[in-house]
Amino acid sequence: MDDSTQSLSADYLSDVLDEGAYEDAVEYVERFQSEPVDERRESLRTIRSLLEHRPSALDPLLPALTSFLTDSERSIRLRTAKIFVSVAKNAPLAAEPAVSPLAARLADEDEFYYVRARAAEALGYVALECPDAVASPEILAELRVGLSFDASEVKEKLAKALEYVALGNPARLRHQLSSLSEHFADESELVRYHLVTTAAVVGCECPEALVSACAALTARLDDESPFVRGRAAEALGVLGRSTVTDWSPPNAKIAALETDDDAFVAERARFAVAALDDENTTLSGGDNVTSGVGTIQSIRETTDDAVDEITSPDSACPNCGLALPEAGPPMCPQCGAPY
């Protein structure tokens, strides 16, 4: 192999991996750790590009890449963390070897907050499919404690990771809902959504755990976000269909949401009303199969769309879908609907 200083070649790396010469590929990656920062940055860009086109081909290199999470340059650490987010999202098992170094980045209070946010996000994706790998008390504590003092960008990823931990193993957070409920009113819509969704997921398997959070969930029925309102109603409906009796359901508030303008809210309110109906035996102890609400699977299938809606810019008319101009009166020029 040529020992000259150069950034990592995508063609070379692709050829080496195609030939199955994994030791050469790992050696090449390890060698550019000592190159100047611009070369390291460019090499990581190459790896990320290759990852997008051939995600599984890089699996043999991932253990070697973890060392870049402690690089002296924070831009290198951030690029590496982003690589592991991509890996964990598409192949959680392949990212398992990086759990410890990612957790170390998350736990480092002196780390750049964007690196910590990406580390939390990667851990969340691993937890979705490999919950035991991320379910240590230490990692869960880091995810939970950061909700109290971190920047919004980090808190949103922490809350997302906690939701994914719950989706992977709902029982793992059954004793954490009381403390998590303290953040249901966070100023960030994403934090509120992810945490209330976490409660709904945990409740599907451990409904008794929702009792400690029911007051905070009831307060979220008035949330300005339809996705938070809907999940809060869903969580309370999950509790209502259980055999748990030591709580006071907010029947009137939930019933009022049945006519909510947002379908996401109204559907979940109807589920909750039916679940809280003493004479309704259809939902008791079971799943609302008809509406696809109140199950771990249904939440898992709808959460990405909800997040997309929350994070998408308000650039389209909610009535007719026309792209709205950046400047102008708060009225759709096509259908006249206010926005």
Task: Inform me whether the pLDDT recorded for 1 exceeds 80.
Answer: no
Task: Inform me whether the pLDDT recorded for 261 exceeds 80.
Answer: yes
Confidence at residue 52, expressed as pLDDT on a 0 to 100 scale: 76
Confidence at residue 323, expressed as pLDDT on a 0 to 100 scale: 66
- As a whole number of angstroms, the longest Cα–Cα distance in the chain is 78
Residues with Cβ within 8 Å of residue 111, at least 6 apart in sequence? 74, 77, 105
**pLDDT confidence tier of residue 329, bands split at 50, 70 and 90:** low
**Is 143 in contact with 161 (CB distance < 8 Å)?**
yes
**Is 266 in contact with 258 (CB distance < 8 Å)?**
yes
Q: Which two tokens stand for residue 142?
A: 């880091």
**Is 78 in contact with 114 (CB distance < 8 Å)?**
yes
Confidence at residue 18, expressed as pLDDT on a 0 to 100 scale: 78
Least confident of 63-77, 250-264, 269-283, 303-317: 269-283
Residue 165 CA to residue 163 CA, distance in Å, equals 5
Least confident of 30-34, 326-330, 334-338: 326-330
Mean pLDDT, rounded, for 125-141: 93
Task: Inform me whether the pLDDT recorded for 295 exceeds 80.
Answer: yes
Q: Is 213 exposed, middle or buried (0-12, 13-18, 19+ CB in 10 A)?
A: buried
Residue 84 CA to residue 95 CA, distance in Å, equals 7
Q: Is 217 exposed, middle or buried (0-12, 13-18, 19+ CB in 10 A)?
A: buried
Which segments of the chain are extended strands (E)? none
Instruction: Say yes or no: domain 172-306 is CATH 1.25.10.10.
Output: yes
Three-state secondary structure call for residue 2: coil
More confident residue, 244 or 48: 244
Least confident of 90-94, 225-229, 276-280: 276-280
Mean pLDDT, rounded, for 44-58: 79
Residue 289 CA to residue 215 CA, distance in Å, equals 27
Residue 237 CA to residue 268 CA, distance in Å, equals 8
Angle made by CA atoms 138, 144, 145, in degrees to the nearest 5: 85
Task: Inform me whether the pLDDT recorded for 162 exceeds 60.
Answer: yes
Q: Is 104 exposed, middle or buried (0-12, 13-18, 19+ CB in 10 A)?
A: middle
Confidence at residue 330, expressed as pLDDT on a 0 to 100 scale: 62
Task: Inform me whether the pLDDT recorded for 159 exceeds 90.
Answer: yes
Region class of 292: left (phi > 0), else alpha (psi between -120 and 50), else beta: left
Confidence at residue 60, expressed as pLDDT on a 0 to 100 scale: 83
**Is 160 in contact with 128 (CB distance < 8 Å)?**
no
Task: Inform me whether the pLDDT recorded for 3 exceeds 60.
Answer: no
Domain ranges of the chain: 172-306
Residue 36 CA to residue 4 CA, distance in Å, equals 13
Confidence at residue 10, expressed as pLDDT on a 0 to 100 scale: 62
Least confident of 6-15, 78-87, 168-177, 227-236: 6-15
Least confident of 144-153, 232-241, 248-257: 144-153
Place of tokens 């209502």: 240
Residues with Cβ within 8 Å of residue 192, at least 6 apart in sequence? 183, 184, 185, 186, 220, 223, 225, 228
Residues with Cβ within 8 Å of residue 54, at least 6 apart in sequence? 14, 17
Mean pLDDT, rounded, for 24-41: 84
Mean pLDDT, rounded, for 208-224: 97
Share of the chain above pLDDT 90, in %: 65
**Is 271 in contact with 293 (CB distance < 8 Å)?**
yes
Short-list 186, 87, 156, CA closest to 307 = 156
Least confident of 144-153, 184-193, 198-207: 144-153
Task: Inform me whether the pLDDT recorded for 283 exceeds 60.
Answer: no
